């Protein structure tokens, strides 16, 4: 059971030996999250919007890709972001939590609890909040340098809001210098919240990974087909294989001897599959 749009998972459900059930509606009382792409020039309007949401009694996540400034990456970082946030949202009117991976577990849990209990208005964080955080009162997710994140991470982070009855928002902040792939990821997030559609876009961008292994994305070494392009014919091939298994699961019929022989050889050459999740 997964809410995460991982390319390998999608590939396994479509072309591998997995069945899938689709839940395509929100739980009762919840509204679809509105996702927007904004640039640095929109910063002032964003701050005003956040202040308005807080005035309505709601809470806000702000997520950064880095904790500290890096010489290798020109991305917004949490330390700089925190200083800007406390300037725009000064105490005692506003209260801010900080959560990241370098904190001691007790300190991280303390700041997290403050936010969960509604004692702080804003949580400044890294992707440590990607899963397992449930605050129905949080209505805004701001993702800084959103082009730094993959589709799976963006989808998971967006899922931290929209858990209550209030209208929720996900705001993807970037500069104007975006690669073609980054533009496609951002456009996908703005266009849809459907995990299957996001996974399909990610499949085309990153590749399916290893269906028989643990690699979750990347190029698979099929000799002829391409999972990102040959979807229809591969689905037909899967249906044909399933019909053979339905009628001759042990592959003992003469016409299936070649398939049986091939699979035995593959099994002898294949390593342990027990670590495949």
- Grade residue 66 by pLDDT with cuts at 50, 70 and 90: confident
Q: What is the pLDDT of residue 45?
A: 96
Alpha-carbon torsion (35, 75, 135, 120), positive or negative: negative
Helix 195-206 with 151-158: angle, nearest 10 deg: 160
- Grade residue 275 by pLDDT with cuts at 50, 70 and 90: low
Contact call for residues 112 and 32 (beta carbons, < 8 A): no
How many CB atoms sit inside 10 A of residue 129's CB? 21
- For the domain bounded by 25-193, which CATH number is listed? 3.40.50.300
Q: What share of the chain is helix, strand, coil (3-state, %, to 5)?
A: 45, 15, 45
Distance between CA atoms of 88 and 83, rounded to whole angstroms?
Answer: 9
Strands of the sheet with 34-39, listed across from one edge: 34-39, 169-174, 138-143, 59-63, 122-125, 96-99
Distance between CA atoms of 123 and 25, rounded to whole angstroms?
Answer: 28
Annotated domain spans of the chain: 25-193, 231-269
Contact partners, residue 201, CB within 8 Å, separation at least 6: 151, 184, 185, 188
Determine the average pLDDT of the residues in 75-83: 84
Contact call for residues 161 and 168 (beta carbons, < 8 A): yes
Contact partners, residue 200, CB within 8 Å, separation at least 6: 10
Q: What is the pLDDT of residue 216?
A: 46
**Segment 160-210, tens digit of pLDDT:** 999 998 999 999 999 988 999 999 999 999 999 888 788 888 877 766 544
**Segment 223-255, tens digit of pLDDT:** 556 655 666 777 788 888 889 989 998 888 999
Statement: the pTM of the whole predicted model exceeds 0.95: no
């Amino acid at each position: 059971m997964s809410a995460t749009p991982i390319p390998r998972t999608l590939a396994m459900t479509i072309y591998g030996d997995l069945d899938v059930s689709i839940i395509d509606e929100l739980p009762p009382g919840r509204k679809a999250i509105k996702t927007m792409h904004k640039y640095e020039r929109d910063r002032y309007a964003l701050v005003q919007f956040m202040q308005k949401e807080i005035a309505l009694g709601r809470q806000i996540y702000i997520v950064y890709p880095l904790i500290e400034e890096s010489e290798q990456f020109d991305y917004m970082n949490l330390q700089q972001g925190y200083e800007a946030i406390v300037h725009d949202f000064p105490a005692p009117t506003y209260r801010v939590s900080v959560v990241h991976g370098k904190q001691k577990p007790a300190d991280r849990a303390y700041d997290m609890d403050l936010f969960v209990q509604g004692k702080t208005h804003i949580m400044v964080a890294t992707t440590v909040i990607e899963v397992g955080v449930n605050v129905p009162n949080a209505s805004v997710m701001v993702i800084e340098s959103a082009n730094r994140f993959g589709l799976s991470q963006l989808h998971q982070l967006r899922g931290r809001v929209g858990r209550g009855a209030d209208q929720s928002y996900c705001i993807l902040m970037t500069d104007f210098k975006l690669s073609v792939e980054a533009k496609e990821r951002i456009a996908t997030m703005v266009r849809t919240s459907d995990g299957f559609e996001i996974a399909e876009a990610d499949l085309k961008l990153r590749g399916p990974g290893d269906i028989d292994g643990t690699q979750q994305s990347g190029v698979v070494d099929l000799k002829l087909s391409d999972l990102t392009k040959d979807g229809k014919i591969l689905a037909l091939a899967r249906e044909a294989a399933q019909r053979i298994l339905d009628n001759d699961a042990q592959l003992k019929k003469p016409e299936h001897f070649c398939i049986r022989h091939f699979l035995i050889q593959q099994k002898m050459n294949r390593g342990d599959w027990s670590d495949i999740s």
